[in-house]
Structure 1
Amino acid sequence: MEIKIISAKAHNFKAHRDLTVEFGDTTQITGDNGSGKSTTLELPSWTLYGTDTMGGKLDPTPTNYEYDHVLSETLLDIDGKQVLLGRGIEKGKATYYINEVPSKYGDFDEIVKSLFDKDLFLSLYNPSYFFTLHKDDQRDLLLRYVTPISNKEVFTEMSRTSPDEKAKDIKLNPQAAKLSELVKKHTLQQLGEIHKKNKNDKDTAYKRAQGRTEALVDQLSKLPPAPDDIEAVKAEDAALLEQIKALAAQTDLAGETNRKRTVLSSNIESLQRQIAQAKDRYMKVYNEPIEEHCPTCKRELDKASIDAVTASKETRKDELRADHQKLINERKELEVQLAAIEPVDVSEQISQMRALEVKRDATAEAVGGYKARQGMQADIDKARADEAETLASRNDSIFVLDAIKAFEAKEAELQAAKVQSLFTTLSISLFKEQKNGERKPDFVIEMDGKAYPLLSLSESVRAGLELREVLSEQSGVIAPVAVDNSESVFKIKQPSGQLILVKAVEDAPLEIKQMGGNAE
């Protein structure tokens, strides 16, 4: 993009009641101090941004004469297309014009912003403006127009083993190879955030994993020691168990026989009680007297009645005798059954079984302890595997974070070298080394080892011109450049774009003229 200032007009702008300036490829403005030379340079900046050439606030209203309104107009040529912009003050209010048409501020501001970036234009127009910016803004403005170093180039240079090694022959080192794969999915910033979090998480998780492993190992140490030959112990335990089962089977069989005898004896005793009760019932009826008088009316019974009572008593006696005999028969039958079952003595088997069980307690405890140790050891193995996995993840994140640091350091080195290569007399520092070895973004400009604020007027002008040429070339924007106090500089190389030279001439009126040829 090429920007030219065709002309600028002023009406009641500071000391200028009415002024028209035509600009050429080189325009020289001369005059004594206070003649309005610098004010002429402020016409384009105030028209566009309402500021002076340093970007500061500017009140252009006259102070030494009466005026009706203030107006500044600038005719620009942008790549062959002209636009006339105006800014004024009427009755204390700002006014705006686009091609002489009164416009709203929003429309005017939108037009200006669409033409070019404010900081870039003012830096190109007035090289001193760049140095009024904060160093972070200076850095951002310069790097904004410098092609960034590609990841591929950084990976290659990270892996370089000798200055003479050709790029195509360089094999990526582990850090570069790792990052080259990871950046396919995430940006370096995202990778940094991911692995910082993972490292912090795994630091905590690793401590927990170590604690769990130590606790399990401590528990294992408290278990009984494993037998020298666990298989022999298992075989002995199994043999003891079989012997105990065989004895238990015998005692169970004997127990069934004895239980049958116990049941029969219990039933016999129950029948014996029932027989006694049946006998009591019989004897009670047997001993009943035969009454000869009616128990109610006391009248004497006749023979037929007495015979009936006697017959009833005999009948009940016969029934009770039969019940008594039936119970006796049942008891005899059970006694026969009981006599047929011989009691079994299993006290010896029980004694043997108890002895075997005591012996097996030791083998079972040994086998159980061995199984517990096996289970505990499995838990320890898993805990150690988890611990190793956590440590590996933590170390991987540390590796990635270190790789990112190495990448950023090499990128900074390459970026600084690339930026420095753009300059001939200026030294540019983009980073500041921290006490911890890390680099922090910075921006320092020096000429001959002197920082910009320490440069003489002539040196600061030359430094500004060199820097604005780099900005112009890198941004692809060609714009006018104004050099105030040009009398302090012996030689000025013809810059890209229009050149406006402002020179103080004692006792001379304001004079503006276009010049041809190189200003050098």
Structure 2
Amino acid sequence: MQINFKALTLQEFKSHQDLRVSFGEVTKITGDNGKGKSTIPQAISWLLYGTDALGSKLDPAPITYEGEETKVTLLISVDEIDVLLGRGLKKGKVQYYINDVPKKAGEFNDVIDNLFDKDLFLSLYNPNYFPSMHWEKQRELLLRYVTPSPNKEILKHLPEEQGKHLGALLKKHNLSDIERIHRENKTKQDKKHIAAKSKTKTLKDQLDQLPEVNAPLDSLKVELSQIDKQVRELETQYDKAADANREYTKVQSQIHALQDQIDMSKERWPSLKNEVIEDTCRTCKRPLDEESVEAVVADKENRIVEYKGNHTELIKKRDELKAKLDEMEYIDASEKMEQIRTLDSSGQPLREAIQAYSQLERLQVQVNEAEIDEKSILDSLNESIFTLDCIKAFKAKEAELQAEKVQALFTTLSVRLFKQNKGDGEYKPDFEIEMDGKPYSKLSLSEGIRAGLELRDVLCNQSEIVTPVFVDNAESITSFKEPVGQLIMCRVVAGQDLLIEVEETQNGKQ
């Protein structure tokens, strides 16, 4: 896009009551201090944005005279299409014009914004504007038109292992996400690795504290099996003796019970034997008849017969049990029990040794699992550390390649786009313009103008937008490279009134 200024009119703008300026390829504005030289280029930025050429607030009110209405118009050519822009200020109210047609602020601003970006235009128009911006804005504007190196190109410059590793990850995620994932994982695995190492050490300490077992496990099990077999055999013998003794005791108890019944039976016999047969009724005391007496006698005899039968049966059962008891034998099993205890106790050391083996095996399994877990965590941690190192190397190479691309745009200036942190060595965005090793803030007025013009021409070439440029205080610089586009120069000439001269070309032809 080629933008040219054709004509500027100032009405009651600062020191100019009525001024018309026609622009050529080179427009020279000269005069003594206070003659309104710088007001002319400032009026253009006020017309477009309501600011001075540095983007600051500007008061356009008349100076040294009374005025009713301030108005600035500018005829510009955009790719050979003319547009007449105007801004006025009357009684504190701003007025806007496009091709002499009044417009609302929004409409006017839309037209301007569609023509060019404010920061870009002011940087192209005023060489001092770009350095006045915050470094982040300077950096963004310069890099806006510089194509960053593709990932594949950057990966080629990394060591093979780093490039291959990071290249695989970049197929799934972008670089920011990869860094976020592995920073989070590194923090998490750092903590887990500390815990895993502690767990492994604790288990190993427990393993070292177990008693030492010299005999092989199989021989211990065989020896214990033999002891257990003997114990079971003795227990079987003991159980048989106990069963026999229980039967013996049972028969004894039965004999004692029968003997008690026999003794009680004996005690009943005298009363039954000596029972008197009465011939009178026990209730009414009347004499019994013969038949009744015979019935009483028969009842007694029946009871005697029943008694003798029961008594005889008790004696018979007792004698049978006594005979059975005589054939039985009570076995003293206490010695057998002592043998069992002694033999079982002899197997206790073997059991403890086998248990120690079991604990040893269990702890060894736990130690192995803990070591595997610790290694897995460490592998994950190391992978994240390696990935972050790859990203760090990637960013460093990206910064280097980007800086080379940007630096190639300049002839006398050097531009720093990144700075390296002292702590972690990482590259962070930065911006610094230098000339001959001096930062822009330390340059002289003439050096600053030359630096600004070179920056301005780079932005023109990169954005493919060419605008007029004005150089203020041109008397301070003896020579400079002719800039791209129209040139407006303001120079102080002592004792001279305002003079505007136009050259049709920048080689000096009138």
After TM superposition, the score normalised by the length of structure 1 is 0.87
The 5 A counterparts of 1:20-99 are 20-99=20-99
**Pick aligned residue for 1:441 from 421, 429, 441:** 429
What one-letter code is carried by the residue in structure 2 that aligns with 1:187?
N
- Matched residues in 2 for 1:200 and 1:508: separation? 72
- Closer, same or farther: CA 282–502 of 1 in aligned 2, 3 Å: farther
Residue 242 of structure 2 corresponds to 255
- Matched residues in 1 for 2:162 and 2:430: separation? 26
The yes-or-no answer on 1:400 pairing with 2:387 is yes
Per-residue deviation, 1:301: 4.1
Indicate the RMSD between aligned Cα atoms, in angstroms: 2.9
**Pick aligned residue for 2:461 from 473, 483, 486:** 473
Residue 229 of structure 1 corresponds to 216
Aligned to 2:376, what secondary structure does the other structure show? helix
**Contact kept? 1:281, 1:320, Cα under 8 Å:** no
**Contact kept? 1:13, 1:62, Cα under 8 Å:** yes
The 5 A counterparts of 1:67-466 are 67-159=67-159, 172=160, 174-277=161-264, 289-344=276-331, 346-347=333-334, 349-436=336-423, 437-466=425-454
- Matched residues in 2 for 1:155 and 1:128: separation? 38
- Matched residues in 2 for 1:307 and 1:77: separation? 168
Moved more, 342-351 or 186-195: 342-351
Per-residue deviation, 1:382: 1.3
Residue 8 of structure 1 corresponds to 8
Moved more, 132-141 or 282-291: 282-291
Per-residue deviation, 1:155: 2.4
**Pick aligned residue for 2:484 from 488, 496, 504:** 496
Aligned to 1:124, what secondary structure does the other structure show? helix
- Matched residues in 1 for 2:276 and 2:485: separation? 161
Residues matched between the structures, number: 507
What one-letter code is carried by the residue in structure 2 that aligns with 1:50?
G
**Contact kept? 2:251, 2:321, Cα under 8 Å:** yes
Aligned to 1:231, what secondary structure does the other structure show? helix
Aligned to 1:62, what secondary structure does the other structure show? coil
For residues 65-100 of structure 1, the C-alpha deviation after alignment (integer angstroms, 9 at most, x for no partner) is 333333333344444555444333333233344454
After TM superposition, the score normalised by the length of structure 2 is 0.89
Aligned to 2:230, what secondary structure does the other structure show? helix
For residues 397-443 of structure 1, the C-alpha deviation after alignment (integer angstroms, 9 at most, x for no partner) is 22222222222222222222222221111122233344334444332
- Closer, same or farther: CA 86–317 of 1 in aligned 2, 3 Å: farther
**Contact kept? 2:279, 2:288, Cα under 8 Å:** yes
- Matched residues in 1 for 2:276 and 2:411: separation? 157
Per-residue deviation, 1:498: 2.3
For residues 344-389 of structure 1, the C-alpha deviation after alignment (integer angstroms, 9 at most, x for no partner) is 5555544433332122111121111111111111111111222222
Aligned to 2:347, what secondary structure does the other structure show? helix
Aligned to 1:158, what secondary structure does the other structure show? coil
What one-letter code is carried by the residue in structure 1 that aligns with 2:64?
N
- Matched residues in 2 for 1:307 and 1:318: separation? 16
Aligned to 2:415, what secondary structure does the other structure show? strand
Moved more, 422-431 or 189-198: 189-198
Per-residue deviation, 1:127: 0.8
- Matched residues in 1 for 2:62 and 2:295: separation? 163
Residue 163 of structure 1 corresponds to none
What one-letter code is carried by the residue in structure 2 that aligns with 1:245?
R
- Matched residues in 2 for 1:106 and 1:327: separation? 134
Per-residue deviation, 1:217: 1.5
- Closer, same or farther: CA 511–292 of 1 in aligned 2, 3 Å: farther
What one-letter code is carried by the residue in structure 2 that aligns with 1:145?
Y
- Matched residues in 2 for 1:264 and 1:75: separation? 140
**Contact kept? 1:26, 1:519, Cα under 8 Å:** no
Aligned to 2:466, what secondary structure does the other structure show? coil
What one-letter code is carried by the residue in structure 2 that aligns with 1:93?
K
Aligned to 2:185, what secondary structure does the other structure show? helix
**Contact kept? 1:492, 1:519, Cα under 8 Å:** no
Per-residue deviation, 1:120: 1.3
What one-letter code is carried by the residue in structure 1 that aligns with 2:387?
V
Aligned to 2:481, what secondary structure does the other structure show? coil
- Matched residues in 1 for 2:82 and 2:313: separation? 143
Moved more, 178-187 or 20-29: 20-29
Q: Which runs of 5+ in 2 are unaligned?
A: none
What one-letter code is carried by the residue in structure 1 that aligns with 2:117?
D
- Closer, same or farther: CA 318–435 of 1 in aligned 2, 3 Å: same
- Matched residues in 1 for 2:182 and 2:168: separation? 15
**Contact kept? 1:493, 1:519, Cα under 8 Å:** no
**Contact kept? 1:220, 1:373, Cα under 8 Å:** yes
- Closer, same or farther: CA 286–398 of 1 in aligned 2, 3 Å: farther
What one-letter code is carried by the residue in structure 1 that aligns with 2:35?
S
Q: Taking every aligned residue pair, what percent have the same amino acid on both sides?
A: 48
What one-letter code is carried by the residue in structure 2 that aligns with 1:403?
C
- Matched residues in 1 for 2:311 and 2:218: separation? 69
**Contact kept? 1:126, 1:483, Cα under 8 Å:** yes
- Closer, same or farther: CA 340–489 of 1 in aligned 2, 3 Å: same
**Contact kept? 2:24, 2:505, Cα under 8 Å:** no
